[in-house]
Structure 1
Amino acid sequence: MEALTKAQILDTALQLATASSWEQLRLCDIASALNCPLSALYQQISTKDQLADAWFDRADQQMLSHCYQGRSASERLYLAISSWLNALAPYQQQTGQMLLYKLEPGHVHLQAAALLRISATVQWLREAAALSASGLARIGQELALSALFVGVFVHWLNDRSDGQQQTLQLLQRKLSAGDKLGLWR
């Protein structure tokens, strides 16, 4: 038997979660669907939460795979964030279920890791958009971009409009407001 990849495991997990829910998904169900022992999964992932992290890693990779040069900082941020959201769009409902799983009261360790995750994605957003603020301006920019990112993401989770157009309009409005404040440099 060939070694499983994290991508194969994640794809199977997402398909199974679509049939039931992220809450009901068990690692043994994934192993059964892949016709392999749990030990084969364990070589790639050791918790269901690592699958959620792999899902967000995939969105980060999608965002970073594009070149946003030759545009304004606001346009670069728009393209980077919309690319990140588009990567998650095929499993929008399951993405929300992953977050609810992380936010359960008994999962304080997952909540702390989620904050670090947001911080890392925001740093990659700054890189993708080639933002160059430093010192206090960078700190303000990171705070504003973190608030923007979380607000847009939460809105996206509940957006049922075609192509999540309501979220993209919200993103544009928030980026324009940041432009007026001189945040995106």
Structure 2
Amino acid sequence: MGTNPGGALRFQCPAAGTSPSVTCPRFDRLHERGPSHAAAVDLTDARQRAAHIAAKPRVLTAAPDHKTRDLPKICHQQTVTLHPGVLGHLDKFRQDLAYLSPSWRGTYSTVRAMTGGLNGCLKGHDLDLSDPKIRLAHGRVAQTILVALLVTVANDHFLGAWRHTHQPPDEPDASAETFEIPAEHLDRSPLTGRSRPPPIP
């Protein structure tokens, strides 16, 4: 759902509705939801297994739970409205565009396509970052550093391929230029205390 003209967002409790995404003992207690009736499930069907109530994550409440009057508003009603600014420092995580709406697609589709394309290149045949044989370092820190190095190498490869495709042949490559000091400005005298004595003639 998107925002209203005032920028407010309406949210539903994830344990509410006909297809809840979680189970919550507090919701069951406050809304007097009884145990679900047993139903046959085809264990070979992945959709049926995922849709069963036993496959949903369960919210862990405090033991003993808070008193009813001290519970959040979302526990007393199935939906709440969040106005701009009510979340404090967490307000920066608000997404005012409705998911998969035309405005959402226009804002995020290009970024998502670029991210997906980059992930595909990193997992391609040239540099298969998903292959564990390429990442033999042990430990999370070593793996992170190794992945960062591999992504840097891949990025350099992408830039080189782009220059090869888009840079005219007669245009000099600025990245290949090196700074050279004229010979007359070079001091060829040996460094004091750090060089070998001159050879005996």
Q: TM-score scaled by structure 2? A: 0.23
Q: Which has the higher helix share?
A: 1
- The answer to which structure, 1 or 2, has the higher relative contact order (CA under 8 A, 6+ apart) is 1
